[in-house]
Amino acid sequence: MQSRLLSAPWTRPAVRAATPRAGRVAVFGGTHGNELSGVALVGMWVKDGAEIQRSGVATTPFIANPRAVERCARYVDTDLNRAFTAENLSALSGDELPYEVRRAQEINRLFGPKGTADAYDVIFDLHNTTSNMGCTLILESSSDHFVLQMVRHVQKACAPAGCSVLLNEHPLLKYSTSRSVAKHPIGLEVGPQPQGVLRSNIFESMRLILKHALDFIELFNCGVEFPACSVDVFRVLERVDYPRDANGNITAMVHPHLQDCDWEPLSSGDPMFQTFDGRTIEYQGPGPVYPAFINEAAYYEKQQAFVTTRRETLSACAVRKLQ
Ligand X SMILES: CC(=O)N[C@@H](CC(=O)O)C(=O)O
Instruction: Supply the residues annotated as catalytic.
Output: 189
Q: Report CA Rg, the chain.
A: 20
- 129 contact, one of Zn ion, ligand X, none, CB 5-8 Å limit per kind: ligand X
Question: Any known ligand binding at 176?
Answer: yes
Can you tell me the distance from the alpha carbon of 104 to that of 110, in angstroms, rounded to the nearest whole number?
10
**Contact between 54 and Zn ion per CB under 5 A:** no
**Contact between 127 and Zn ion per CB under 5 A:** yes
Q: Which of helix, strand or coil describes residue 154?
A: helix
Q: Which of helix, strand or coil describes residue 91?
A: coil
Binding mask 64-103 for ligand X (x = CB under 6 A): -----------------x----------------------
Q: Which of helix, strand or coil describes residue 67?
A: helix
Question: Any known ligand binding at 103?
Answer: no
Q: How far is residue 143 from each of residues 3, 7, 72, 146, 182, measured CA to CA in Å?
A: 9, 19, 36, 9, 15
**What are the DSSP E strand ranges found in 227-279?**
229-240, 252-254, 271-275
Longest Cα pair distance anywhere in the chain, in angstroms? 69
**Contact between 102 and Zn ion per CB under 5 A:** no
**Contact between 320 and Zn ion per CB under 5 A:** no
| CB-nearer residue toward ligand X: 151 or 229 | 151
**Contact between 152 and Zn ion per CB under 5 A:** no
User: Residue 86, class by beta-carbon neighbours within 10 Å (0-12 exposed, 13-18 middle, 19+ buried)?
Assistant: exposed
**Contact between 298 and ligand X per CB under 6 A:** yes
> What is the number of other CB atoms lying within 10 angstroms of the CB of residue 77?
15
Q: How far is residue 94 from each of residues 91, 113, 178, 222, 289, measured CA to CA in Å?
A: 9, 19, 20, 44, 45
User: 10-29: which residues touch ligand X (CB under 6 A)?
Assistant: none
Q: From the list 27, 29, 30, 32, which residue makes contact with ligand X (rule: CB under 6 A)?
A: 32
Smallest gap, in angstroms, from Cβ of residue 299 to ligand X? Answer: 7
Question: Any known ligand binding at 212?
Answer: no
Annotated binding site: 32, 35, 74, 81-82, 127, 175-179, 189, 299
Binding site residues, ligand X, CB under 6 A = 32, 81, 125, 127, 129, 138, 177, 187, 189, 296, 298
Annotated binding site for N-acetyl-L-aspartate: 74, 189, 299
Binding site residues, Zn ion, CB under 5 A = 32, 35, 127
